[in-house]
Amino acid sequence: MAPRDDAWREELRQALSARDRSAIARVVMPALDPAYRITCNEEVNRGLDREQAVIEATRCLDCPDPQCITGCPVSINIPGFIKNIQRGDLHSAIAVIKATSALPAVCGRVCPQEKQCESRCIYNKMKKEPVAIGYLERFAADTARNEAATDAKAAPTQREASNGIKVAVAGSGPAGLSFAGEMARRGFDVTVFEALHEIGGVLKYGIPEFRLPNSVVDAELDSLRAMGVRFVTDTIIGKTLSLDDLLADGFKGIFVASGAGLPRFMGIPGENLIGVMSSNEYLTRINLMSAGRGGMTPVASGRRVAVIGGGNTAMDSVRTARRMGAERAMIIYRRGLDEMPARAEEVRHAIEEGVEFITLATPVEYLGDERGHVTAMKIQRMTLGEPDESGRRSPVPIEGAVDTIEVDEVIGSVGVSPNPLIPSSVEGLEVTRRGTIAVNEAMQSSLPVIFAGGDIVRGGATVILAMGDGRRAAASMSD
Amino acid sequence: MNKIVEKEYFSERVVKLVVEAPLIARSRRPGHFVIVRCGDNGERIPLTIADADIKAGTITLVVQAVGASTEAICALRPGDCLTDVAGPLGRATDVSRCGTVVCCGGGVGVAPLLPIIKAMKASGNRVISVLAARNKDLIILEDQVREASDEVIIMTDDGSSGRKGLVTDGVEEVLRREHVDKVVTIGPAIMMKFVSLLTKRYDVPTICSLNTIMVDGTGMCGGCRVTVGGKMRFVCVDGPEFDAHQVDFDEMMMRMKAYN
C-alpha cells in the first residue's frame, strides 16, 4: 500500500528540495493552558489542524530506506501515511496505518514515539528535531474518526470473508484489542471476554482522560464491533468460564491478554496505613469508577500527595492528584530526572502543572496518626553510582541523609506483577519464575490452543508493545 | 445485567437476593465471592456467594445495608437487575474431611458460612454450628443451618434466642467439651479476631473469611491487602480465606475504616 515509487510520491519529493523541507521547524502541539487544565479532566493535547499537519508531513524526507518503520513495534508504513497526509488523501493515510495497527488514535497519543519511530528519524542524524510522527498519526486517526461520524459512506476496515472459526480473547486491553482486530480482519469469529464492567483494560482504568479521552477509546471499540468483534463484560476466564468451557463452546484458539495484576509494594514500614495505595487503586477509583467525579466509589483527595516512581503511571497519578485538588503533588524518584522512564512529554506536562520532582530520593518509612492515616514519610537521599544491567546509573543511599516530608496521601507506582488469575487457574499452563505466561516466538504457550501477549507475558510494558504481541499472536494463530 | 428473581427480608437491613447468573452458579464453590455493581455510577461491592442453583441458573446473595451502595442493592425488587455481577472470585474453601468442625458465624456472616457447613457435612465431617447475633431477629438462616449441621448452638447478646452471650462463649463450650479438628469463622472482623484468639489458646486450626475493601476484586488494585503471618497478602486472589491465627486483625480493622 502506498509504494514509494508511485508517481505522486516522486512528485512530492521533487516539489521541494530536501534542504528546504529540513529547514521547516517541527510543529508544536497545541495544548491547553496549564492553569486551566488542572481544574478539569479535558485532554491536554489538542491535536494538529490540517494546515499544521500538511506542513509537518512536508518535513518528512521520504527516505529511500526509512528507519522509522523499524522503530515501530507494529511496523506501520510511516512515510506511506505521512505522504498521503501531505497530498491531502486522508482516507489513504488512515488505511495505511490501519493495515498494521488496530488502534491508531490511541497510539498517536500514548506511544513513546521519542523512543521508537521518531528516535530513528533521519533528522536526528542531521541534529534536527525528528518528524512529529505521533502527532501525524493522531491527526490521521482523529480526522478519519470525525469524518466517519458525519459521513455514513466512510468505508469500514476491509475484512476477509468469514471463515466461521471461533476464537476467544481474555482481556480487552491493547493486546487483546489488537489481536481481535487482526483476527476479525482475517475472517475469524472473535469474542473478547473482559473481567471488568468496562471494555478497554488499561486504556480505561489506567490512562487518564486528560491523556486519552474515553470517547477516543470507544470509537476504536466501535470500529472493532463494526468488523464483527463481540465483547462480553464481567467474565473472568479461568473463573466464570474455564478453558474446557471455551473449548466445549467451540472456540478453536484462545489469546490470553489479561494484563498486569498485583501492584508491587516496597515492603517498608507503614505501607498499609490509610492513604497509602497503589497507582492501580488510585487510578482505577478515579478513571474507571469516577470516584470524586460523581461516582459512588470514594477516593481520598490528599492536600499533600507523594507519588513514588518515575514511569508513565507515576506521572498519570501525580497529574491526576493535581486535578483532584492536591496543593502539593510530588514525584519521589530514586534516580535523576534524566533517568526517568516516563515519556518526556508527560514529565514536561507535569512540570507545567506545578508537580514537584524530588529526585534521588526513596521512601524508607511512612508515619501515621492514631487513626492509622498517613501523615508523613521519611525519604532516604540517594546518589548515582555505577550503571546497572539496564545501563542506567544505579541509585546508592547517602548515609545519614534522611528527611521527613509531610504527606496525607501516598501513591506507589513501582511496578506490577502479572495478573495471577489465569496462570493459577489453567492447569498445565507453563508459567515463568516471575509469574508471566511462558510463550515461544509465535506467542504460543505450553498449551498449543493458548496464545498470550501483553503484560501477562512481559510483566509490564507499553501499549504499543502489547499491540505488537497481539498482532504477532494473530499472525501465528491464524496460520 | 443480572435479574433478581427472588427477594426476602431477613431483617430490616439484611436482604436475601436470588440473582440470575447461570455461569457463576455452575462454576462457584463454597468460599467464592462475586463483585456486584448497582447503577452506572455504582461501586464494585464484594459479596460472598451464599448458595447457588445450577438448574435455575441462580446464585443467592445476602446483603446488609451499611452504606449508600449496599442500600441501593437492598432496595432492588424482584424483576429489577443488578448492573453487573462478576465472579466467582477468590479461592474455594478446603472442605475435605478432617473430623469435627465448628462453623461459627455472626450476623450476615452466616450466609457465606452456610455453603461451607453444607460442604463440610457432605464430605463426612461432624459439623457443629454456632450462630450469633445481637438478638433473635438478627439470627438468619437458622433452619437451613440446622438441616446441615449435627448440632447448632445459638448465641444472642440479649438472650432472646438460644443462650445469652457472645459467639466465643458458644465456641469455647464446644472446645472445652470435646476434641475439635477445625474451626471456620465468618463474621465481623472483631468477632473473627476474638474467635481466633480463643482457638489459638486451644490450638485448634482456624480458617477465617475476610471481606475487606476492594475495587476490582481481580488482583489489580491491592486495596484488599492484609498482613498474614507477617507477609502482605491480597484477599481477592490469595483469599478470601486465611489461617485466622496468622491474620493481623487490628491492621485489617483499621484499614476498613479508610472511608468512614
Predicted TM-score (pTM) of this structure: 0.94
Question: For position A150, what pLDDT does the model report?
Answer: 65
Expressed as residue numbers, the domain containing A377 is: 264-415
A243 close to B (CB below 8 A): no
Chain segment B127-138, per-residue pLDDT in tens:
999 999 999 999
Which pLDDT does position A463 carry in this prediction? 87
Would you call B193 an interface residue with chain A, using a CB distance cutoff of 8 Å? no
Tally of domains within chain A: 3
User: Does A177 map to a domain?
Assistant: yes
Question: Does residue A148 have a pLDDT over 80?
Answer: no
Residue range B63-84: average pLDDT? 95
Asked which of A389, A415, A441 is the last residue of a domain, the reply is: A415
Residues A187 and A305 in one domain: no
Q: How far apart are CA B163 and CA A157, in angstroms?
A: 72
Residue A151 is predicted with a pLDDT of: 60
Q: Is residue A158 part of a domain?
A: no
Q: Are residues A28 and A108 both part of a single domain? A: yes
CATH for A16 = 1.10.1060.10
Residues of A in contact with B33 (CB under 8 A): none
Whether the CB of B260 is below 8 Å from some CB of chain A: the reply is: no
- Interface check for B215 against chain A (CB to CB < 8 A): the answer is yes
Name the band, by pLDDT with cuts 50, 70 and 90, for residue B25. Answer: very high
d(CA B76, CA B139): 22
Q: Which H helix or E strand runs over A219? A: helix A214-226
* Chain B CB within 8 Å of residue A146 CB: no
For residue A273, what is the nearest residue in chain B, using CA coordinates? B255
CA distance B254 to chain A (A): 6
In this structure, the answer to whether residues A282 and A409 fall within a common structural domain is yes
Residue A460: pLDDT band by 50, 70, 90 thresholds?
Answer: confident
pLDDT (average), residues B51-75: 95
Average pLDDT estimate for A2-7: 88
Q: Is A298 on the interface with B (CB under 8 A)?
A: yes
Confidence of residue A154 (pLDDT cuts 50, 70, 90): low
Q: What is the pLDDT of residues B108-129, one digit of tens each?
A: 999 999 999 999 999 999 999 9
Rounded Cα distance between B150 and B118, Å, is 11
Residue A367 in this model has a pLDDT that exceeds 80? yes
Gap between the Cα atoms of B140 and B62, Å rounded: 10
Q: Which residue of B has its CA nearest to A280?
A: B221
The phi and psi torsions of A363 (rounded to 5 degrees) equal -70, 140
| C-alpha cell of residue A334 | 530514586
pLDDT of A1 strictly over 90: no
Per-residue confidence (pLDDT) for residue A391, from 0 to 100: 80
CA A157, CA A316: separation in Å to the nearest integer? 32
Single out the residue of B26, B50, B243, B84 nearest to residue A199, CA to CA: B84
- Across the interface, whether the CB atoms of B220 and A284 are under 8 A apart is answered yes
Cα B228 to Cα B136: distance, rounded to the nearest angstrom: 34
Percent above pLDDT 90 for chain A: 83
- A279 and A339 in one domain? yes
Please tell me which of the candidates A265, A284, A296 has its beta carbon nearest to residue B216.
A284
- Asked whether residue A251 falls in the same domain as residue A234, the answer is yes
- Number of C-beta neighbours around residue A450 at 10 A: 25
Asked whether residue A157 is domain-assigned, the answer is no
Q: Are residues A113 and A21 in the same domain?
A: yes
Write down the pLDDT at residue A424.
83
Residues A115 and A219 in one domain: no
Give the Cα separation of A323 and A56 in Å (integer). 32
- Adjacent-strand bridge partners of A192: A169, A231
**Residue A153 covered by a domain:** no
**A288 and A216, same structural domain?**
no
Do A274 and A409 lie in one domain? The reply is: yes
Determine, yes or no, domain membership for A82: yes
**CATH number of the domain residue A457 falls in:** 3.50.50.60
CB within 8 Å: B258 and A300: yes
| Confidence check: pLDDT of B7 > 90 | yes
